[in-house]
Each structure stands twice: as structure tokens, then as C-alpha cells.
Amino acid sequence: MARVYRAADIGDEIFQKKVAVLGYGSQGHAHARNIQDSGGEVAVGLYKGGGSWGRAESDGMNVMTVADAVDWADVVMMLLPDEKQPEVFENEVAPNLSESMLMLFAHGFNVHFNQIRVPENVDLGLVAPKGPGHVLRRLYTEGNGMPSLFAVQNDATGEARSLILSYAKAIGSGRAGVLETTFEEETETDLFGEQAVLCGGLTSLLTAGYETLVEAGYQEEAAYYECVHELKLIVDLIYEGGLENMRYSISNTAEYGDYTSGPRIIDEGVKDRMREVLADIQNGHFARDWVLENKSGGASFLSMRDKQARHDITRVGSGLRAMINEGVEG
């Protein structure tokens, strides 16, 4: 069984270092604020005059340009969007890295697929919280934590492992557990989870269920409630106690339907297609397509986003959520 590190297993080396967090979006604001609240010395690296600059300052952060933040720091965490990282790294980060520094990423995509190459005299590691940044921040403020993965890709100083673990502790993950991985494993499992289950698989399943009921003549609102709205209740039960807790909490009728109908939907053919998705991730086909999509301006990506935004499920859901919220506020 893999070892999970907790706060008591991890030192406080990060508090002897200056940490630059590049980006102040969902993950960036959470990392920066959690480390600062833990007692660390932090600067946020941003584009001068960008929309996040004022927000970071109002949150009490020390804000610098990306280049200045890297030059100032001992540890640099890259939390810009994946598609923006290579250019920023080449132009603003790499020229300001020096020997014995630690370069961190929260997702291994660009390193694993060779879009970014960190010099060999610089320590290279990964700290990847397993959830959105706003949840990472909320859990921290509540005295809890979010699990993280960590990896050591290059240990030029001989001190990278302890420093990376202490970074994970400083963002609160030592409270929940920190699991060792590799850049390869984190990248490929993360992409697969997003595409086949958590995002791509789930949204396609919800949409297909909604469409099946509506096409059979049932009300749009009833279909949305049944196939989309109630999902949170089921996911919360699974989050709290696993599949067994969900099955314990639902009716015997629902549990019987789970066992008898679930495998008719998610059958071996679905797993075969999941294996195809995983193979495209492992062999670099997905990464190649995503890199080329961004280099061409993202027209196909934006078209897909627009198409999904115009689906009836979006309109119906928006109306129902507004009604629910109005009732709660009233």
C-alpha cells in the first residue's frame, strides 16, 4: 500500500525559503494565501496591470511581475493555465532561475510532454492538490485540508524531497494526506480522470440521460431534476463514505437498479473506449492535439464550448437554479 504522509511526518523547510506563486486564479490564490497564513514568505507573480493584480493586493499579497518574482524567490510554483505556461516559462521564468532553486508545478502536463524543460541544476517537483483551488482554500480556513500528490523529478541539491513535502504541508495538505507519485503518473491519471469520468464522461452521461427522458416525452424540468440536480446528493454520499455509503443510504429499489442496470450502461464496450482514451493520453496524441489547438487560436475548442452552452440542458438548468435560489433567499 502506498505511503501517505501526514503533517507530523513533514518538516517546515519551506518557511526558510521565499516562495513565488505564478498566477492568482483558482489554484494560485489558494496556494499563495494558504502558505502566507501558515507563516511562509510569499510573492505573487503576475502580468503588470492584469486583472488579478489588484485582487491579489487587496488580499494582502506581495505582488510582482513574473520575472521579478522568480528572481526574488527560492521556490517557484507555476500555476498559470497549462496553455500559457511554455511561453511564460521561456521568456520570464527560465532567464531568472538559478542553481539550487526549486521549480514546482501543480500539474505535470508541460513537463511530461516536453513543452517545458527545466535546467538540470534546478530542483524540479510537483505538488498537485486533488480538487479545485477555491475548495483548497475553504478547507484550509475551516482547519481541514485537501489531499495532494507530490513528486520529485530532479533533486540537484539533495534537499528537494523534504522541501516539496513541506510546501504541500504549508498549503494544508498535510492535514489530509500527501501521496508520492511521478510526473508521468499524475499527468496521465489526471487527464484520464477528467476526460473519461469526472468531466467528459460525467457530462456526457448526464446529457444523455436528460435527452433520453425528454425525447420520451417527459417534462424538461423533471428530466433535469432527475438526471442532473440530484447528482450532488449522490456524490456527497460517495465523498463521505464511498460507494458503500451511497448504497446504504438509498432505497433498496434504487440499489437493485444500480446493480442490474448500471452494467448495461457502463459495459465492457465503454471500458474499451476508455482504454482508447487512455492510450491517446499515454502516447501523446491528446497533448499534441491540445498544443496544436492553442497554437491555431482555439477555434475548434471555442466552437465546442459555444455548442454546449446552447444546449437545452443549460437553459433549463439555469431557470431551475434561479427559481431554487429565489425561494431560498425569500
How many C-beta atoms lie closer than 10 Å to residue 230's C-beta?
A: 11
Cβ atoms < 10 Å from Cβ of 203: 13
Residue 83 CA, distance from chain mean position: 14
State whether the Cα torsion 67-71-73-76 is positive or negative: positive
Catalytic residue check, 112: no
The letter for the amino acid at 114 is: N
Q: What is the DSSP string of 194-249?
A: IIIIITHHHHHHHHHHHHHHHHTT--HHHHHIIIIITHHHHHHHHHHHHHHHHHHH
List Cβ neighbours of 133 (8 Å cut-off, separation of 6 or more). Answer: 25, 26, 27, 28, 29, 30, 31
Active-site residue identified among 29, 107, 112, 285: 107
Report the alpha-carbon angle 40-25-9, nearest 5: 40
Look at residue 124 and give its three-state secondary structure: strand
Q: Which residues are paired to 178 by β-bridges?
A: 5, 148
What type of residue sits at position 271?
K
Query: Which is nearest to 140 in space by CA: 27, 305, 292?
Result: 27
Cβ 17 vs Cβ 35: under 8 Å: no
Q: How far is CA 330 from the centre of its chain?
A: 35
Residue 68: alpha-carbon gap to chain centroid: 26
Indicate which residues carry an active-site annotation: 107
